[in-house]
Amino acid sequence: MQHHDDPWLWLEQIDTDEARAWVDARNAATEAELQADPRFAPLCQRLKGILDSSDKIPYVGVHGGWCYNFWRDADHVRGVWRRTTLDEYRKNAPDWETVLDLDALALTEDENWVWAGVSWLEPDAARCLVLLSRGGGDARVVREFDLTLPGFVADGFTLPEAKSDVSWIDRDTLFVGTDFGPGSLSESGYPRIVKEWKRGTPLAAATTVYEAAPGDMAASGYQDNSPGWERAFVLRQIDFYTSELFWRRGDRLLRIDKPLDASAFALRDQLVIELRSDWTIDGVTYPQGALLATGFDAFVAGSRAFEVLFTPTPMTSLDGVAATRSSLLLTVLDNVKNRIVELRREDGRWIRREVAVPGIGSLGVSALDSDHSDDYFLTVTDFLHPTTLYLMRSGSDAREPLKAMPAFFDAGPYEVSQHTATSSDGTLVPYFVVAPSGSAAGASGPTLLYGYGGFEVSLKPFYSGMTGAAWLEQGGTYVLANIRGGGEFGPRWHQAALRQHRQRAFDDFIAVGQDLVARGVATPRQLGIMGGSNGGLLVGAALTQRPDLFGAVVCQVPLLDMRRYHLLLAGASWMGEYGDPDDAEDWAYLARYSPYHNVRPGQRYPRVLFTTSTRDDRVHPAHARKIAARMLDQGHDVLYWENTEGGHAGAADNAQTARMVALTYTFLLRQLGEHAA
């Protein structure tokens, strides 16, 4: 299919009168049906209460001795950025100091500001760059902020709205990548030129440090300000999975000789490399998924003698790495359950020990201050137990409980089990089931299957008051699938479904659905599927390939038109994942599963709810618009809902999130409950 053959191209024009009228009409029809359901209003109110709850865990990052938190509730719709001390944070009701009130700022400036994060000047953290988004998109405005005031810096560093990449070199100098004019952005819309920008000079006077090739994904610069180990680096991101790293020494860029598909970072006197493919060097082969370390200076001088910090097995993979002052903390996935390994460097060697932590569910580690402290935060969570936040210290297994999320739903009637389904090629695919226990177990009922299967993203057990209140307490069973394309078993699990092998991810997901039906968990009419972004592509493919297996589909901020995805917004950056539609060989396999091109008139499909956001500047809303328009034109019964704000998250504040989730679960309850009988 050629681009000019597409009758729905006009829906790629985001805010034309014609496109807006189409969206408004679809929104009105969807809201009229779902908001009329008697479950919608109380469910929306309950979800809003969960999101606004003052009992949620206020997660913090520690900078310059302060604990910083961004918080939304009923009184702070857009949010408040605040800080406190660690001693105060230990209390049940800490005394917070407001640093920036986003509601007040939005009102004063008449802007729909959404918080987009902070870039810190370390190690003292007296200055930062505040990132603000209009409506929740990836494009941000950048403003310098003084934490000693606190307040914005008059005549400080500022950048207009763009998909900028900025970081501090020192108090008066930045690495900056932004829209410098024609040719300065990659085909993906990201900066490909890195410049050094001095305080008090116009952006036009910034000097070029590095320029990536026009076909590269992006380029960026960053400074490691670890005391005594200060180094500057430039990263050339060739595509999503390949990159070059350069050490900037004065005006020279020295290439770090790592494999292109490996990631690397400096940790004081060490260089740490994570492999995505086998690497044979100096007669030694290091396996895919391994983590290696060597002396930084020795590596630059030509040595290739590594210590192996982690070696994967068929059931284990590296899930995360965090550094404290004197240790490296590895979060390991073992059959989709986490454990923690601590590595300490003693007498020139890395010493390993297992950290005694809860052995079920998901664990998350973040250092308080990697330059000056061995303290770190540990989060512990699973499907039925509210998340708990602990303070720990490397070298010890002692855990100090800091915060615990309240129970937002009654978990007593439910149990969690892990199963495997056999995919079409014989691969065993694990999945979790959260279902009624005891006498209610074994009876089929409304079941929601969630998946992602891409970009080496792992789906792990999590606690969600939203899922509990909106689905489990309404009689539903929840299923989380760990299909290929994800990272649950390391790079091999991801690469098994890469590019021309994408169908394997869809086959795995379908196999889980078939296994649920075979085990009597749900009938096809009771089985719904949900996915967002790449997961939207997943459920879109499942919709077109096995419409008989499912009773409802929720397709969120989806990628669906695989012929034009690389021409829309950030789409070109994903060709390493999916392939190039302009290459005939790639298009041959993309065409076989592209949901937009495979919906057919006369075919019976389960009912679909497509959701997206006008302000999504990552995955273009036209993906959802166009397939909904095509299916409606073919006579299919679909629902469509587009939030005007929210970016790729789909919602910009708690009220919008509650409304979106209430619409979604009301749809599922209607389709998989009484309508599935």
Q: What is the mean pLDDT of residues 513-532?
A: 97
- 355, 501: one domain: no
* Domain membership flag for residue 14: no
Please provide the distance, in angstroms rounded to a whole number, between the alpha carbons at the two ends of the chain.
40
Same domain, 522 and 645: yes
Q: Are both 386 and 444 inside the same structural domain?
A: no
Q: Which residues are catalytically annotated?
A: 533, 648
Q: Angle, to 10 degrees, between the axis of helix 534-545 and the axis of helix 503-518?
A: 60
Does 181 score more than 50 pLDDT?
yes
Q: What is the pLDDT of residue 571?
A: 96
pLDDT level of residue 555 (50, 70, 90 thresholds): very high
pLDDT of 565 reads 98
Q: What is the mean pLDDT of residues 447-451?
A: 98
Question: What value does the mean pLDDT take over residues 232-249?
Answer: 97
110 HSE (CA, 13 A, CB side):
0
Q: Position 537: which residue type?
A: L
pLDDT computed for residue 2 by the predictor: 40
Where residue 674 falls among pLDDT bands split at 50, 70, 90?
low
Q: In the structure, what pLDDT confidence band is assigned to residue 442 with cuts at 50, 70 and 90?
A: low
Same domain, 491 and 387: no
Q: What is the CA radius of gyration of the chain?
A: 25
pLDDT of residue 348: 87
In this structure, are 588 and 457 located in the same domain?
yes
**What would the pLDDT profile of 38-94 be if each residue is shown by its tens digit?**
999 999 999 999 999 999 999 999 999 999 999 999 999 999 999 999 999 999 999
Determine contact, residues 98/71, Cβ cutoff 8 Å.
no
114 occurs within a structural domain: no
Which long-range CB contacts under 8 A does 404-411 form with residues at least 24 apart? 404/57, 405/55, 405/56, 405/57, 405/463, 405/465, 406/53, 406/55, 408/50, 408/53, 408/465, 408/466, 408/468, 408/469, 409/465, 409/468, 409/469, 409/472, 409/473, 410/473, 411/384, 411/385, 411/468
Strand duo 263-267 + 252-255: pairing: unpaired
pLDDT band at 372 (very low <50, low <70, confident <90, very high): confident
The helix or strand, by DSSP H or E, that contains position 609, with its residue range, turns out to be: strand 607-613
Q: Could you tell me if residue 446 is inside a domain?
A: yes
- Indicate the number of domains in the chain: 2
**pLDDT at residue 675 in the model:** 58
Q: Is the pLDDT of residue 512 over 50?
A: yes
Q: Please indicate, yes or no, whether residues 336 and 434 belong to a single structural domain of this protein.
A: no
Q: In whole angstroms, what is the distance from residue 280 CA to residue 489 CA?
A: 22
Of 405, 428, 463, which closes a domain? 405
Domain range for 349: 315-405
- Spell out the residues 6+ positions from residue 361 whose beta carbon is closer than 8 angstroms to its own: 337, 338, 380, 381, 382, 383, 385, 460, 461
A 10 A CB-CB count for 205 gives 10
Check which CATH number belongs to the domain holding 439 and give it.
3.40.50.1820
Q: To 5 degrees, how large is the angle CA 128–CA 62–CA 105?
A: 45
- Residue 441: per-residue pLDDT: 57
Same domain, 516 and 659: yes
Q: Are residues 382 and 509 in the same domain?
A: no
The residue from 359, 379, 405 where one domain ends is 405
As to burial, measured by CB atoms within 10 angstroms (0-12 exposed, 13-18 middle, 19+ buried), residue 404 is: middle
Average pLDDT over residues 341-360: 91
Residue 382 and residue 436 in one domain: no
Res. 650 pLDDT band, cuts 50 70 90: confident
Is the CA virtual torsion 517, 522, 523, 529 positive or negative?
negative
**Which H/E stretch holds residue 376?**
strand 375-381
Instruction: Specify if 224 maps to a domain.
Output: no
Provide the edge-to-edge strand list for the sheet that holds 349-355: 316-323, 327-334, 338-346, 349-355
The answer to whether residue 427 scores a pLDDT higher than 60 is yes
513 within a domain of the structure (yes/no): yes
User: Do 400 and 458 belong to one domain?
Assistant: no
Q: How confident is the model at residue 536 (pLDDT cuts 50, 70, 90)?
A: very high
**What digits encode the pLDDT tens for the residues 373-408?**
999 999 999 999 999 999 999 999 999 999 999 999
pLDDT at res. 652: 83
For residue 370, tell me if it sits in a domain.
yes
Q: Over 90: is that where the pLDDT of 534 sits?
A: yes
Choose the weakest-confidence range: 158-172, 316-330, 649-663: 649-663
**Average pLDDT score over the chain:** 95
Longest dimension (CA), the chain: 72
Instruction: Write down the pLDDT at residue 443.
Output: 77
Residue where one domain finishes, among candidates 341, 374, 405: 405
Is residue 472 located within the same domain as residue 506? yes
With beta carbons less than 8 A apart as the criterion, state whether 195 and 222 touch: no
Q: Which residue has the tokens 């902020």?
A: 145
Residue 3 confidence (pLDDT): 45
Q: Determine the 3-state secondary structure of 43 from DSSP.
A: helix
- What mean pLDDT is predicted for residues 569-573? 95
Q: Are 548 and 572 found together in one domain?
A: yes
pLDDT (0 to 100) of residue 440: 56
Q: How far apart are CA 220 and CA 449, in angstroms?
A: 38
pTM of this prediction?
A: 0.95
Tokens 């097995």 — which residue? 313
In a domain, 391, yes or no: yes
Q: Is residue 247 part of a domain?
A: no
